[in-house]
Structure 1
């Protein structure tokens, strides 16, 4: 139906442009005016804007994606779904949603951010309302920290002014200069408005490897005790994780007031991945490429991955991060 309407508009404009040459000057002006108006209508139809046509939370879609595409992360999946669902269904949140995702490389932190974006914004990660900051790319020089603070504040203020439902993703927080993230603390706090701007509908997601060691140690303890990883609960990890991040000098959240003032709503732990999860990743990647998932190929890929500790070989060193490239070799 939408496509039909667009074709109709295009037809009217093209017809109007042809008829222009046969009309007198006054009629020509009217026809051109109609064509310009319709042209602006089509432009607005295609141009992403901050309204429900482009921004609409799909709770069912997010749950389905987390259940079928994220492997070995029962804690993270549950927290993310509840947190985002509760926030997006609240017409009057008291503060922005702040999630801090922690875990070893390749465990799904970036992937979960992508799934959240895809189930909120029609354009997903390509949306003009989703903003990704990478520490080493956007904040490379410690000597420019004050400049970065000012630029970051202005960038966030400008984008939230443009669209209240903006999302900000900070990748490689463990490489971010300590103190930089504190510059945006006011925007994450319980304020109705700051300089006339409300930040309460915005979402901030921090991605970090910091705290990964404590998460791995807990998972390894459970494995050595013969307990299933699905028995690990958030309370087994949360306190140690937040303390580890707060006291880690290499963390962008080192001694940050965001933690001190409890402005991070959830510290989300991502567990290290085992052999079976790597197999699942390989199967899912084959399906995403349009191939019939082949368990034998998936096993070959999983066996080619390096595991740790060296003696037990329980967890994948890089999670599922190299699966895509390794799969090219086998199919």
Structure 2
């Protein structure tokens, strides 16, 4: 009986696996399933009878055997039908439960989408979705759409607590920094050497000694001396220039122009040598106008020789021209061509000093009219006012005389006061060996002529011009 049941189950499974799901339903509706089962029962009964005949013992009769076969056939049919019905009921119950769960899931998903709550997924359980009506696998795919994979959330970057110190970010190693530091060091050394060279070049001319001697021997012209030293330091700090230095000193008679020129000539002769310093007096070297062209040619030759010599020795020559107001037109033209910046390089390294009393009327008028403005002002402050007020006027007056003064820096010299004249007497008497008696100095100073007192000051009309003659009469 057990063998018969197993043979029927195997045949039913084979039949159900070979047929599609739709054909299986048709077979059940048409009653072929019952016929097949009856046929299979008959086949099984015949096979069972054959086996019984073969295995029937000798003591049993045919009636007994028929009774046994009939009871076995009824038992097999009843057991087979009950097991199949149980499988069908289980499948129907599962499909009903599955529909119920899907309806609940759709209803819960709608509510959750409104409230924003996450959708709960049902636990994975064993289902018969992939099996046919007889438990065999089917080829059709499920109608439900595949679920999307959830995106993985990036982990948050957690920093250490405030108790611990966070290590600063490490900077990248760059070799170019060292090259930059090396370049800066080279530039610094070059600039430092250039400054040292400038100082060495200025020290060679000993301008500090020149300044001290002029302040000691030139009276009442402190502002002019400061301006002259400033221009000389600025020019002599380098050797290569784009134009020569031209300084024009103007002032009334006796204010110290010639004395200043003698001091400059003596100082530069001791520094650069006598061949590189020329002191030119117009009334001495070229007194007549008839020989002015010849004087101009000789002056041009002397200037060229001195400039070439200075270029060879790497020194700057100095040309001092006194009494320029008596200089002829040909000589002025020669000087203008020599001072022009269009000359060759060797002519650009030279110093020209021009001494004259041109524009003395403007200087005298300005000093007398502006002395009462600031009576407490210092000497440098008064000279600053004098320079700002007289420079434009003197430029206009001198450029009308000749174009030479377009290349020149003008330094006006002011009038000397009575105290300055007394200092001139004291210095001259000391040099001549006289006892410097104060009463005698005041008496000699009172013999000179002065302008009317302005702002508590008395200005001399002749300056220190007559001091030497007065001392020689002692």
TM-score, with length taken from structure 1: 0.70
Q: Does 1:167 align with 2:313?
A: no
Output one character per residue of 1:191-229: Cα deviation in whole Å (capped at 9) or x when no partner.
Answer: 4626xxx12332111111111111111110122546457
3-state SS in 1 of match to 2:269? coil
Determine if the alignment matches structure 1 residue 149 to structure 2 residue 296: yes
Contact 1:58 1:120 in 2 (8 A): no
Aligned match of 1:127: 274
Greater strand percent: which structure?
1
Contact 1:307 1:313 in 2 (8 A): no
Tell me whether 1:298 sits opposite 2:441 in the alignment: yes
Pair 1:319-2:463 in alignment:
yes
Report the CA distance between 1:237 and its aligned residue.
Answer: 1.4
Going from structure 1 to structure 2, the CA distance change for 1:146 and 1:179 (only over 3 Å counts) comes to closer
Rg (Cα) greater in structure: 2
Matched, 1:178 2:332: no
1:280 aligned partner: 423
The 5-angstrom pairing of residues 2-151 of structure 1 reads: 56-122=204-270, 127-151=274-298
Tell me which protein shows more helix as a share of its residues: 2
| Cα contact 2:224–2:383 (8 A) shared by 1 | no
Aligned mates of 2:274, 2:426 — CA distance in 1: 29
- The partner residue of 1:237 within 387, 390, 394 is 390
Cα distance in 2 between the residues matched to 1:314 and 1:140:
36
Separation in structure 2 between the aligned mates of residue 223 and residue 184 of structure 1, nearest angstrom: 36
**Aligned mates of 1:80, 1:121 — CA distance in 2:** 18
Rounded Cα–Cα distance in structure 2 between residues aligned with 1:238 and 1:263:
14
- Structure with the bigger RCO (C-alpha within 8 Å, sep 6+) is 1
Give the CA deviation at 1:127: 2.6
Equivalent residue of 2:216, what SS? Answer: helix
Task: Assess, with a 3 A threshold, how the Cα gap between structure 1 residues 177 and 158 changes in structure 2: closer, same or farther.
Answer: same
Measure how far apart 1:183 and its partner are: 1.8
So what's the TM-score if we normalise by structure 2? 0.50
Deviation at 1:68, TM superposition (A): 1.9
- CA distance 1:285–1:130, shift in 2 (3 Å): same
Note the aligned Cα RMSD (angstroms).
2.9
Q: Which residue of 2 aligns with 1:158?
A: 305
Q: Is the contact made by 1:214 and 1:244 (CA closer than 8 Å) also made in structure 2? A: no
The correspondence of residues 217-232 of structure 1 with structure 2, limited to 5 A, is: 217-225=365-373, 227=375, 228=377, 230=379, 231-232=382-383
Tell me by how many angstroms 1:62 deviates. 1.5
Tell me if the contact between 1:56 and 1:121 (Cα under 8 Å) persists in the aligned partners: no
1:95 aligns to what SS in structure 2? coil
Structure 2 CA distance for partners of 1:328 and 1:137, relative to 1, 3 Å: closer
**SS of equivalent residue, structure 1 residue 101:** strand
Preserved CA contact (<8 Å) 1:223 1:229: no
Q: Indicate which of 187, 198, 201 corresponds to 2:338.
A: 187
CA–CA distance in 2 between the matches of 1:291 and 1:84? 36
Q: Is the 8 A contact 2:218 2:256 kept in 1?
A: yes
> Does 96-105 or 231-240 show the bigger shift?
231-240
Deviations 1:213-254 (A, max 9, x none): 11111110122546457324211211112222233xxxxxx1
Contact 2:206/2:271, CA 8 A, preserved across alignment: no
SS of the equivalent of 2:407 reads coil
Answer yes or no: is the 8 Å Cα contact 2:276–2:318 preserved in 1. Answer: yes
Equivalent residue of 2:321, what SS? strand
Report SS of the residue matched to 1:316: coil
Matching of residue 329 in structure 1 with residue 473 in structure 2: yes
